[in-house]
Amino acid sequence: MSTSVRSVRSVRSRRRVTSTLVALSLTLGTGGLVAAAAPAAYAADASEVVAKLPISSYSAMVVDSARERVYIADKRSYYYNDKGQVLVYNFQGQQIATLTGASPVTGLALSTDGTTLYAGERESIATYDTATLQLTGRTPAYSDTCGRELAFSGGKQWHTRGNAQYESECAYAVHGLDFVSGGAYNVTAWNITGRMLLETGAGAENRLFMGQVKNEKATDPALTSFDTSGATPVRGDARRFADAEGKGGLDLKDLAVSADGKRLAVADAAHGTRLLNSGDLSDAPAPYQPLPEGAVASGVAFSGDGKYVARGASATGSTPDLLIQPADPANGTTALEFAYEGELDGNRVVPRGLEWSADGSRLFALTTNAPGNAFWLHIIQPPAAQYDSRFTGGLTSTPGQAVVGEPVGIRGRLELDGPAPTEPVKVTAVRTDADGTRKTAPAEVAADGTFTVLDVPARVGEATYTLSFLGDLTHRPAEDVSLTVSVAKAPSAITLTAPAEASKSAGLEITGTFTAQGPALPAGIALAVQRADRLGTGTLTSVAVAADGTFRINDLPRTRGSVTYTVSYAGDDVHAASSAEATVWVRR
């Protein structure tokens, strides 16, 4: 098994590898460990590492800061006998191990001291020693087809259990809350309709938060918390969010507890990021600012040092998919923004796809593509500051008249505040015309900030070019700028070579060449020919154009004197009309 890891300094839809691949291998024995080969590319000063994960499904991620490891669960439940796995990465983005489950793996949790990794399976809860990555046992559990959420709180390992025979029933089936303590499996009396999310945190050691996922039978889902310090869970305050008309119900995607345990952040796809008091689940005094327009909340996580909150989203284009900002909403520092769009980054942050290291030095973000069958691990080290960027001076286009099928350049200038980027940045663009929207190739920005986006318009009419700078680790995205270009038909031209004089009895020959810019002409082009003399104007037989653009006209003039021949091309949808004349003096 191999994994591609890239070191990058800028957050763009296209990225650039900055160092060579290094192959690593590691063998750690048995206990479910089946592979550990990890080619890697990274630099010691990299601010972000991106690893393409060898999985097509995802269920959970946890971070072991003491051993600098990231555990990612791959459910793998396409067939009943599929065995899920847990990928193990280090903080440099290298895969160091793979733990294979007895069945699909859903849900992960670490013990408070970090010595034990719990992994949910269909018929059991597996435990691994985090020092050796060896399987230490499996506690039998009631069968679960839906996938388990796991959390560790109050010295107990908690998990959900879906009462469904088929996975298609899980969204609205009854789910229960169970726990393992001292190696014994315990069933609580707490049940809800639909899936539930579990969350705890170091600042709330004996508190377990549970959120209900919206479904057709629960349109006003609930949040609640449990005191887990005793032998059985004791439920605390609960809250629902719909108004008197039943509107505004929670659409839960993720939960996070602040480092001090006083706040609960909720990623709500219908609302954004809700910030609540963890005690009674009331609204916190100051909310977070709304996510950018077009961004739908998908994840949230607090850094272990209490300084930052990361907010993940699903967004398109230059709209940010990830914001990193001070955890205190009263701190007005502008958020560090990331816009992911492309085959090297993924398109959006997955639900439950954000985790921090305990010291807040690294954020681990999982992204996926539009179909949701490919995944990337981003390991981000936020810089101390981020600076503004902007397009200045407007946009211009060359040539002065754009024509279909010929290159057009959109020129502009990008200004970046703060230190100069260590790598050239790129500007991206899309062209919008009557056929829709199409991406163009990105343009590299020169040291003086100038750039030229090149494109070949494919349609006559107006084409609007919208340019974006998605930002990098030290620069915020620039506000998009646009320029509308009028695209004309591609010009054509006819040249004629005719004799100055000819005789009426011998006839004459005119040769010519037909050329056209833009898209290729179809085969079999014919040109119209007219003859004008003192007897009037008449149309002659059209002349065929050869593959090399040449043609010949042979004629017997009908009268003496000045005779003018006009050769013309009528044009088509993308080529302009053209014509040429030649005058010959005809003798007896």
pLDDT at 352: 97
Q: How many CB atoms lie within 10 A of CB 260?
A: 14
pLDDT at 2 over 80: no
Lowest-pLDDT range of 47-51, 247-251, 347-351, 435-439:
47-51
Neighbouring-strand partners of residue 414: 391
Please identify which residue in the block is written with the tokens 């500051």: 385
∠ CA 287-289-290, nearest 5°, is 115
Q: Which residue has the tokens 């042979």?
A: 554
pLDDT of residue 471: 80
Per-residue pLDDT for 461 more than 70? yes
- Residue 404 pLDDT greater than 90, yes or no: yes
Give, in degrees to the nearest 5, the angle at Cα 85 between 258 and 252: 35
Looking at residue 78, its pLDDT comes to: 67
Q: Give the mean pLDDT of 394-405.
A: 96
pLDDT in tens, 521-537: 988 899 999 999 999 99
Interatomic CA distance for residues 300 and 321, integer angstroms:
12
pTM: 0.67
Lowest mean pLDDT among 37-41, 240-244, 492-496: 37-41
CB burial of residue 194 (10 Å; 0-12, 13-18, 19+): buried
Q: Model confidence over 27-83: pLDDT tens digits?
A: 223 333 332 322 222 222 337 889 999 999 999 999 999 999 999 999 886 667 789
Q: Over 90: is that where the pLDDT of 457 sits?
A: yes
Mean pLDDT computed over 75-103:
90
Residue owning tokens 């460990």: 33
| Domains 389-488 and 492-587 equal at CATH topology level | yes
What average pLDDT does range 285-297 have in this prediction?
95
pLDDT at 177: 95
pLDDT band for 138, please (50, 70, 90 cuts).
very high
Mean pLDDT (the chain) is 88
**What is the structure's pLDDT at 384?**
66
Q: Of 91-95, 444-448, 469-473, which gets the smallest average pLDDT?
A: 469-473
Q: Can you tell me which residue has the tokens 């981003």?
A: 378
pLDDT in tens, 333-378: 778 888 998 778 899 999 999 999 999 999 999 999 999 999 999 9
**Between these two residues, 399 and 75, which has the higher pLDDT value?**
399
**Architecture of the CATH domain 492-587:** Sandwich (2.60)
Q: Are 281 and 274 in contact (CB under 8 A)?
A: no
- pLDDT value of position 509: 97
Give the whole-angstrom CA distance, residue 403 versus residue 407.
8
Could you tell me what percent of the chain has a pLDDT over 70?
Answer: 91
- pLDDT score for 7: 36
The topology (CATH level 3) of 389-488 is Immunoglobulin-like (2.60.40)
Is the model more confident about 496 or about 21? 496
Q: Where are the domains of the chain?
A: 389-488, 492-587
Look at residue 108 in the predicted model and tell me its pLDDT. 96
Distance CA 288, CA 272 (A): 9
